[in-house]
Structure 1
Amino acid sequence: MPARTRTPAHPATTGGVDARLRWWALALPALAFVALLALVVNPSDAHAAGGDPAVTHLMERLQRFLTR
């Protein structure tokens, strides 16, 4: 004769892990999206750093290689 198993009425509400997101889990991606969107809308605000010319040369070569 098969044994009957008792199933809880509401398994999702009994114990378990707290699945709420922290405030920064939504705020940080939203902030990054807004910052990138602002650069796309007004690219004149994005100033290149005046660093090492070798790095600039490498980045230009990388850009040319990827656009081929």
Structure 2
Amino acid sequence: MDGTKRTLTRNAYIYATSKRRADRTLLRKGDTITTYGGSYKFKNGKRYYRIEGATSTNKRYVKVVNFE
């Protein structure tokens, strides 16, 4: 599966749902992250990209606004 490499323009957290963070990992500004597919709109109205390391049971998303 081919992903799109995107660069963070601000520090970001990894989310599992619209309210819950996946873990305490902080992704730093300037990091290159591989995203898959288009953006998803969650219940809170914000858009997220699915990122590398995500599985059907271990969901990992980053907010779209954190990318350039």
Larger helix share, 1 or 2: 1
Higher relative contact order (CA 8 A, sep 6+): 2
The two structures have a TM-score, normalised by structure 1, of 0.19
Give the number of the structure whose alpha-carbon radius of gyration is greater.
1
The two structures have a TM-score, normalised by structure 2, of 0.19
